[in-house]
Amino acid sequence: MKDERSGWPTTSRTDDNIATVDKMVKEDRNMMSRLTADTLSIWKTVVLQILREDLKKRKLCSRFVLHALTQEQTDKRVATCHNLLNMINGDKNFLDKVIIGDESWCFTYDPKTKHQSSEWVGEHSPQPKKLRFQKSKVTKMLIVFFDSQGIVHKEFVQEGCTVNAEYYKGVLDHLISRI
């Protein structure tokens, strides 16, 4: 004999519940199955069955995009790409003359693997212990410039320095002296 619970119907996957869940999904596509189950006084698993099997629904997460371009911005990017292609077609060594810069935050630690930290010990000495590696909370910014051959110039931003136009002018002066 089944245990009956007050307020919970014994057969909850009915046409009425299916229609109600369908209506709720159409009104709010972000609805949560737990709230729907509480609203209809049915099990969450039954709501999920209705959604997946009866209504043929599936829940997908949105994909984040950095930004949406206007038509004008898209046209400018296409024009710039065409100009670059024309320059490349005009000068086969064009890409050898391009220098690209980037910056990245780096953790300041000197990691050692288990193998690198191995050591010779006596016959009855206990096995050396290697603590699990953890990243340092201290970070430094690395600014690097490279071309088709590799890194042209790199430098770490010193602690306490603010990276602004004046700082970058100094970095670019260092880069120009290296070229």
Quote the CA–CA distance of 150 and 70 in Å, as a whole number: 35
For the chain, how many structural domains are there in total?
A: 2
**pLDDT tens-digit series, residues 26-41:** 888 888 888 889 989 8
Mean pLDDT of the chain: 82
Per-residue confidence (pLDDT) for residue 70, from 0 to 100: 87
Residue 5 lies in a domain: no
Domain range enclosing 99? 95-110+134-179
User: Using CA atoms, how far apart are residues 104 and 143, in angstroms rounded to an integer?
Assistant: 7
In this structure, are residues 72 and 39 in contact, taking their beta carbons and an 8 Å threshold?
A: no
Same-domain status, 22 and 101: no
pLDDT for 27 equals 87
Question: Do 47 and 106 lie in a common domain?
Answer: no
Q: Tens of pLDDT along 70-79?
A: 899 999 999 9
Q: Is 122 a member of any domain?
A: no
Q: HSE (CB half, 13 Å, CA atoms) of 144?
A: 11
Burial of 42 (0-12, 13-18, 19+ CB in 10 A): buried
What letter would DSSP give residue 164? S
- Domain-located, residue 102: yes
The yes-or-no verdict on residue 111 having pLDDT over 60 is no
pLDDT at 108 exceeding the cut of 80: no
pLDDT of 2 > 50? The answer is: no
pTM: 0.42
